[in-house]
Structure 1
């Protein structure tokens, strides 16, 4: 029988942590004399209470390792449970929304999607703005840990390819997992601090820099203003683009880099492909925009570079109206949104690694058609790709495509315009952020969507963040039978 106590214990501890962290925005509002601090105080009390009860009731599970099925449950439960508690301050205080909008915003934050249902951000209490940024920052860190610890063990979407990095099984490598997790935390904090300092150095206020530093490194995209990054056009766009790229690189390579391997990043084939593909996409869109006479070259360069990178990494900031560039540029940015950043980064979507595996599999198949008797090993970056990795990636692509089509159709049936439905499905399942269409508000918020459409997007954000297969496997009776 499946022992749920270790899973419940860890969820209880993390719930308790979320409740304790609510004290930070509470203190900010309290120091500013804003009565909204009570919403965080109430949310913190209830969250800590539930977390303490869960952890206390299962404390006898402390020290027990997680098995394969428990790991699935742990990885999939956190992004369902924690946003429910994180949503409490949104309901108890500003912006005083209902359960659907509060949960939508919290899940969008923790999955680092960045789609928002809130309008009037410029007038919101600073505690609310800080809490939204903190949710994305925490979610981004959690995504990296799940990608490096859980998914390789669970053999989801070709992630078993990364088991050689030291994550064979949770039971065997707990000391290594602890060391890697600590290293990831140190790098994550360092990148965030560098981003905050850089933003401040180029003119952002301290509060704006703190929030945008957190949401940039998390590739989340929540901003402190309804104008998103258009309020910070100029040199700050280059700063944002740089740190979004850094956040889109595999964090395990940073650990190796600091460990004395100066070529760790450049040797990674997906890093080279990621940077190369960014260059291609930026160049193509710039050529199109210049051909249509949109403006001065330097302005077009800056705006294109920033907005292509923000959608490639799934950050979702907007400094210009991308939909206004034309249909061709919109198709390009949607394509890069489907690709996403590198595996083991805070980036979103299918990931560069899986596209490289797919391309290599296609090339191998074409070679085999010409030489059917020749035995050719499939390799990526000099490393042999096992057959189960390739098949897992192909299944991932199939599941992703089916999920996108079904979600688009469901959103259209909910009453959304076709363009809105397609981009809403894209932004949800790819965890990108912006949607485009007549039902999307002038600030990019989806507050006018129906309740059904919002819950469909919630489902899409959840499935996309957890790589689809990690969630779908829970629907199989065989999983519960062991």
Structure 2
């Protein structure tokens, strides 16, 4: 993949091509040696312990390799700066979108394309992880989707390879469609391709410091809102829809996500009109775009929504936690976990009212087993503890509470921009201390891999027998 930005830099006469050439050779040699040295070693398949070990190591290795072009580049913000190079690479591959780069409008095209490609690869990587790995490991209630996803997919398309090909085709198709729409709507071809790669991946890297605030005409922001939503829908549903299930896309998670987006857009849009900040169309356009951007953990911005009032700041801080649907490119806690909590609360209240009643916990047509409920509760406990711990650590570096708290949430939820003057939608992470950047880089990887996949490696019993 490094050859693409190398070719772009050569075409545009940029000297940055050599950074990608060196990094490409280094990763090709290393990857080739690893592949040759382990050929045939796993013919029997992966054990649970091997899967737990391989998943985080793979993501950490890819992130490290992805940082090499940034480090070797001649761009001031990352050149020779390990912390910044790693931070930018991790943010890209985890589709977080937090950045330490400034002056993007005049940045080398290869560097901009590399950032976009990282998010695109990270998006398809997390889809594969969420479908093939996390359900099998029972992370955070994901086992709920293990039988459902495989059963329904196998009825539609018997072979796993065919499912993977269809998922990849859908992902690529949505990206091509987004690029064409952006291009016809007024973006230059390069800008259209870069934003298409990061829209469907719900990544948020842009080619402009003003993000999508740089493009307001011809409905581009409305189109971007739609493509961000398309990336936050479970991609298995696209497979089922293509296989002939006409109502597949009208899934419970999708309905909940769209319902939340519509209600919040109406509320914020009306507030922006009443407060006199925008006219009718602009108010709902900015409200819809930025709400969708945060709730899908994309991280684009059309305006500095932290200037919309204290209530808006509180709302967007809450949205940092949510995330899109399971099996999508979005990060965050995920819609289904909030739905499981709602089911648990409803059941609890019903038992308080009718102590002798029987109230089965069901999610759609499936029973919510105790292990699923327990996994969800455990995940929520650990994620909120992680938010608190990271916040305190960041405050230890001298950052204020809003910057620390929103930075912790935006990193662990893989959203991108935080809140406040420093890391808000109008700022970036370049001025943070190097130690804070390393903490946030680790947090982004932890959040992307649903925490337990990484944390279990630190349990001594894991390495025994």
TM-score of the aligned structures, taking structure 1 as reference length: 0.92
CA drift of 1:166 comes to 4.8
Contact 2:199–2:298 (8 Å) recurs in 1: yes
CA–CA separation in structure 1 for the residues paired with 2:420 and 2:450:
26
After superposition, the C-alpha distances for 1:268-313 in whole angstroms (9 at most, x for unaligned) are 2111101001111112212322232212111111111111100010
Change (3 A) 1:62 1:471: closer
SS of the residue corresponding to residue 265 of structure 1 reads coil
Which residue is 1:477 aligned to? Answer: 460
Contact 1:94–1:124 (8 Å) recurs in 2: no
Contact 1:285–1:332 (8 Å) recurs in 2: no
The answer for unaligned runs of 5 or more in structure 2 is: 152-156
Which residue is 1:29 aligned to? Answer: 9
TM-score of the aligned structures, taking structure 2 as reference length: 0.95
Which residue is 1:434 aligned to? Answer: 417
CA drift of 1:72 comes to 1.1
CA drift of 1:182 comes to 1.5
CA–CA separation in structure 1 for the residues paired with 2:420 and 2:234:
33
SS of the residue corresponding to residue 221 of structure 1 reads coil
Contact 2:127–2:329 (8 Å) recurs in 1: yes
Change (3 A) 1:166 1:427: closer
Q: State whether structure 2 residue 62 is matched by structure 1 residue 82.
A: yes
1:389-468 alignment, distance < 5 Å? 389-440=372-423, 443-468=426-451
Q: State whether structure 2 residue 258 is matched by structure 1 residue 275.
A: yes
After superposition, the C-alpha distances for 1:35-56 in whole angstroms (9 at most, x for unaligned) are 1111111111111111111111
1:174-189 alignment, distance < 5 Å? 176-189=159-172
SS of the residue corresponding to residue 140 of structure 2 reads coil
Contact 2:417–2:424 (8 Å) recurs in 1: no
Change (3 A) 1:480 1:62: closer
CA–CA separation in structure 1 for the residues paired with 2:143 and 2:93:
25
Bigger drift between 78-87 and 106-115 goes to 78-87
1:127-142 alignment, distance < 5 Å? 127-142=110-125
Which residue is 1:45 aligned to? Answer: 25
Bigger drift between 365-374 and 196-205 goes to 365-374
SS of the residue corresponding to residue 60 of structure 1 reads coil
Which residue is 1:307 aligned to? Answer: 290
CA–CA separation in structure 1 for the residues paired with 2:357 and 2:444:
43
Change (3 A) 1:139 1:316: same
CA drift of 1:58 comes to 1.3
CA drift of 1:143 comes to 0.6
SS of the residue corresponding to residue 272 of structure 2 reads helix
Contact 2:417–2:423 (8 Å) recurs in 1: no
CA drift of 1:193 comes to 0.6
1:254 to 213, 238, 255: 238
Contact 1:152–1:167 (8 Å) recurs in 2: no
SS of the residue corresponding to residue 87 of structure 1 reads helix
CA drift of 1:452 comes to 1.0
CA–CA separation in structure 1 for the residues paired with 2:424 and 2:381:
32
Which residue is 1:67 aligned to? Answer: 47
1:339-418 alignment, distance < 5 Å? 339-418=322-401
SS of the residue corresponding to residue 173 of structure 2 reads helix
Q: CA RMSD in A?
A: 1.6
CA drift of 1:456 comes to 1.2
Contact 1:149–1:167 (8 Å) recurs in 2: no
CA–CA separation in structure 2 for the residues paired with 1:341 and 1:175:
28
Contact 1:158–1:393 (8 Å) recurs in 2: yes
CA drift of 1:479 comes to 1.7
Which residue is 2:247 aligned to? Answer: 263
CA–CA separation in structure 1 for the residues paired with 2:313 and 2:364:
31
Contact 1:314–1:340 (8 Å) recurs in 2: yes
Contact 2:417–2:425 (8 Å) recurs in 1: no
Contact 1:274–1:341 (8 Å) recurs in 2: yes
CA drift of 1:76 comes to 1.2
The answer for unaligned runs of 5 or more in structure 1 is: 1-20, 169-173
CA–CA separation in structure 1 for the residues paired with 2:264 and 2:134:
29
The number of aligned residues is: 456
